[in-house]
Amino acid sequence: MPIQSGRPSRGEIEPTRRRLLAALPALSVLIAGSAGAQGIAWPGGARGAVSLTYDDALNSQLDNAVPQLAARGLRGTFFLTEENIGDRLADWQAVARAGHEIADHTVHHPCDLRGYSPARFERLELAPMERFLDQNFGASRLRTFAYPCGYIGMGSGAPADRHARYIRTLSPTISAARTTAGPPNDPARVLAEPLRLQAFEPTEERTDPLLAFRYVREAARRGHWAILVFHEVLPQRVGEGDTSIALHGEILDWIGRQPVWCAPMGAVLGHIRQDA
């Protein structure tokens, strides 16, 4: 079975990102102001949290990223797309047994959902993927989701209506969902809007560890939660969004030296709920 990263071209994703980035700061201020939750106590006296997430069920994650995480005692969140798994289901099950989080990135990785109704998305992507994960990874997991391509709209209409429709479709099933843009997450906002978790792709644009460092430092400075997104982890960067094995290792090593709690998304979400 061919491996599909399912990543869109830059031209496809930018408008969505711009809308998201434009909408989020005002919303964050409103919610943080009303909830008033400052200074969550992170485990071990950490100043912030970071989750390492890997999308699309790519073989290079099994072969390269997982061993690098294991060597450092770190655990990540792997958003699987069923059609990319091929003959490596047993390997993914071993990843789950090693303590990593396995989560939902749909069956077929549809990016543009303008042709989808909530019922169609539920029938073709959400319900079958959750069933597949239940059968192969257990039903007791916290149900986390990553929006394919970071697209946050479904069906037709204004962007806000399309986003609200997507949220309504996910909310009966999914506890938390991750986009691919926006600043680190304020815990107060996480509780108010768990289906709008913001994240950053540190190797999307170029090979520079400082981009990841800066984002995680910002989370530590504010007591927030940084979520990093990776795709292919390869010997060399080939295209947009690829991470070289060397750079991936450098980022993991650096995180290990920071005053931040590194844990899968479900674990961080559970901690925020408990602390609230």
Q: Could you list the residues that contact Zn ion (CB under 5 A)?
A: 6, 55-56, 148
Q: Which is nearer to Zn ion, 40 or 234 (CB)?
A: 234
In the bound complex, what is the minimum distance in angstroms from residue 105's beta carbon to Zn ion? 6
Please, what is the minimum distance in Å from the beta carbon of residue 35 to Zn ion?
A: 30
Asked whether the beta carbons of 241 and 203 are under 8 A apart, the reply is yes
Residue of 74, 127, 81 whose CA lies nearest to 102: 81
E-only strand ranges, the chain: 48-55, 77-80, 101-104, 144-146, 176-178, 225-230, 233-234, 243-244, 260-262
Residue (148 or 194) nearer to Zn ion, CB: 148
Residue 199 or residue 269: which is nearer to Zn ion going by CB? 199
What minimum distance in Å lies between the beta carbon of 106 and Zn ion?
8
Residue nearest to Zn ion as judged by C-beta position: 55
**Nearest residue (CB) to Zn ion, 13 versus 188:** 13
Residue closer to Zn ion, measured from CB, 80 or 251: 80
Least distance from Zn ion to the Cβ atom of residue 73, Å: 27
Whole-angstrom CA distances from 168 to 14, 120, 123, 128, 152 are: 24, 13, 15, 18, 12
Q: 153-174 burial, b if ≥16 CB within 10 A, otherwise e?
A: bbbeeeeeebbebbbebbeeeb
As measured in angstroms, the least distance from the Cβ of 74 to Zn ion is 21
Euclidean distance between CA atoms 188 and 149, whole angstroms: 26
